[in-house]
Amino acid sequence: MSQKPLHYDGSGPITKNSSPTDSKPFIITDEARKNISGNPYTLK
């Protein structure tokens, strides 16, 4: 069996030929920070 099955989270076996991800810095604005940090289960 040369092909290994997918894992439960959907990821497959790690290949050594994969290229690194693009790691450009980004800036989070105050408005975006408010949207991220809130409780999603509360009603406004």
- Please count the CA atoms within 13 angstroms of the CA of 19 that sit on its side-chain side: 3
Higher pLDDT, 42 or 15: 42
For 11-41, the pLDDT digits (tens) are 666 666 656 677 788 888 988 888 887 777 8
Q: What angle do CA 36, 41, 44 make, to 5 degrees?
A: 80
- What confidence score (pLDDT) does residue 36 get? 83
Res 7 pLDDT > 70? no
